[in-house]
Structure 1
């Protein structure tokens, strides 16, 4: 397989042309940052729903995360960002080429982040089949959509609570199965669509339906920073970045690289991390006592606990690991009681303390 990549100077030029606020320079919002990092370490956690006030840096943080991630090998000029080595992440054409022992041109590419516009149609999201061409020329003429572009990347939906429920369903189905299938007039085309789904929204504009909310792996709640000192620091950081984005980014090169290395190490370590059987029973006991429907809550909490343990370079999950992730994994799965004043995250923590006491 031929290998080509961006030269260091080309990569620098690209960064300077579109500077992104550094992830490690973001002040506060630890819950959101942790949820995003854990999903990058183990995408099977199932994505993140970020709910919070306007102007709290939701979009900035997601873009900063993508900028942080290491480059991946992709097949050149392939609209699906096919992995040249993993058949599960290959388009049909690439898989056929590998089976025929054809040489693939492999390039290094940044992980893609696809923004889904609110007014997007299902055709724009899933792709379309040119029926006329298929019938007259006998070829499957497929025009890839946003799900194809998002394969092996991050799909970001701002104001996901305002998106049509049918489209949210389509996104969640693809995120869960890792495949997108388009069917028109008896013609069916499938392609890999394995991505991390990140949705954000403002609760004042309405919540997602519970059955859709439940399918997001984690739920991060963020609020406007209240401490005057922190607010001043955030404003100063933003002003410095807007004035001199390149030099501002340079100041964070070391911390950015250190975090990138830590994420890569965690991904490699993840398969060796152990979660004690007794702790798994207790996680399920918490889910049961909170009346969480289904088993998604148990599965996601297990995965998130393994991921945070790997992120910290350890191979044995501790109760503290579980305590840190379980509110993020369960709070959006609880049945809402309008008369309850207690925050759902606190409710999860209280039951945790009872079970693990």
Structure 2
């Protein structure tokens, strides 16, 4: 489980301080169940920086963060056993479009997150929180509050980076990817972190207590009812999502740390629209609706009642499916770098974006990434037109310019243009 950093990481920092390593591909098995959604073919597809302050003191960097020692690790394990059970992901009935978008972002976090919009009571929050058990383990520097990647300088905290530059050996451990909930009433200090000014003035150190953005680095940041989020917190998220870094400045003291996370938001469109600047930061957009089929509704009610009666027994009944899905995600993440997409398909994707008047190039980039992630999930090394047809509505729907006179769903506009170009 534990390993030690050697001189290889130092060499990486000295020569290419901001270059991410290429993951090693591997191969595993996968089984998928074809699906449909919203009445359209292929729609759905699965069944399941530190700056020196302007102070006269000689400043050294320290962190006021909880060190994870062995006793605390034991407490965490005990807490995990007694914590409230989470509804298993494979037990979610229907909503294939939302589940697919979440899985693709776990496979390739660079897709940029998911915005889930839909009716009340359609399982948006339940599905997102059930994703926790599926998140794979990642290598992190032990006792580091920023979940620093020992091999990627872009994801390292300043202390870890300086230690490696000095040639120090740092222990590493495997840890689950974090999922952090951002409450609507959270203060900016709670989100960004706080600097202890009194300690800085009396002891001459930058005493920093990391916030939620530090905890979410290399993980998932989930905002329920994101369309009700205060504007100042939206600005903070926009800045961190764009730069991958969070900077806190107080009284001439400045501290920065990496904040690269998958942003997942959910909300009800009836409660208000999302600012276009924030909406564009989400890689994919999933639209969910109320299940109309009576038999399916009965199945959902019965499954939920069974979970409420005995959560542990219910989770145990889905253990095999849960483990199988975990293995599929792990295999897909490993083989993602080997997936190729033909130049002709790339041209057609860009043509669809161009003819739909999609602003910027995020739509092109996200569609290419999502299609490769889906091909990897299906254990293929080449992207097909079917893969693109499955993901392109979710990648472009929220990027189209709003026309108040248009009655057709934006996802249908995307899929129609797809067939027109790809025919």
- What is residue 140 of structure 1 aligned with on the other side? 206
Q: Distance in 2 between matches of 1:33 and 1:185?
A: 45
1:327 to 376, 387, 393: 393
Residue equivalent to 1:248? 314
- 1:73 maps to what in 2? 139
Q: TM-score, normalised by structure 1?
A: 0.94
Instruction: Name structure 2 gaps, 5 residues minimum.
Output: 4-68
Choose from 322, 333, 347 the match for 1:267.
333
2:162 aligns to what?
A: 96
Match of 1:54 in 2: 120
Matched, 1:28 2:73: no
- Identify the match of residue 311 of structure 1 among 369, 377, 391: 377
- Between stretches 210-219 and 197-206, larger displacement belongs to 210-219
1:121 equivalent in structure 2: 187
The range that moved more, 126-135 or 41-50, is 126-135
Say if 1:67 and 1:105 are closer, same or farther in 2 by CA, change over 3 A: same
**Preserved contact between residue 285 and residue 397 of structure 2 (Cα < 8 Å):** yes
CA–CA distance in structure 2, aligned partners of residues 71 and 18 of structure 1: 21
| Contact kept? 1:2, 1:103, Cα under 8 Å | no
Structure with more of its chain in helix, by fraction: 1
Report deviation, 1:25: 0.8
Matched, 1:173 2:239: yes
Q: Deviations over 1:9-68 (max 9, x none)?
A: x86972453311110111011111111111111111111110011111111111111211
CA RMSD of aligned residues (A): 2.2
Mapped partners of 1:35, 1:71: distance in 2? 20
Tell me the matched-pair count.
357
| Uncovered stretches (5+) of structure 1, i.e. residues with no partner | none
- Bigger mean CA offset, 167-176 vs 94-103: 94-103
Larger Rg: 2
Equivalent residue for 2:350?
284
Contact 1:16 1:246 in 2 (8 A): no
Would you identify which runs of 4 or more consecutive aligned residues in structure 1 move more than 6 Å? 4-8
Distance 1:172 1:40, change over 3 A: farther
Whether contact under 8 Å (1:326, 1:348) holds in the other structure is: yes
Find the residue that maps to 1:141 and give its secondary structure: strand
How far apart are 1:2 and its partner, in Å? 4.5
TM-score by length of 2: 0.80
- How far 1:73 moved relative to its partner? 2.8
| Residues 128, 252 of structure 1: alpha-carbon distance in 2 compared, 3 angstrom cutoff | same
Aligned to 2:80, which of 9, 14, 31?
Answer: 14
- Which sits farther off after the overlay, 123-132 or 21-30? 123-132
Q: CA deviation at 1:232?
A: 0.7
How far apart are the structure 2 equivalents of 1:287 and 1:17?
45
Deviation at 1:259, TM superposition (A): 0.8
Partner of 1:223: 289
1:334 is displaced (CA, Å) by: 0.7
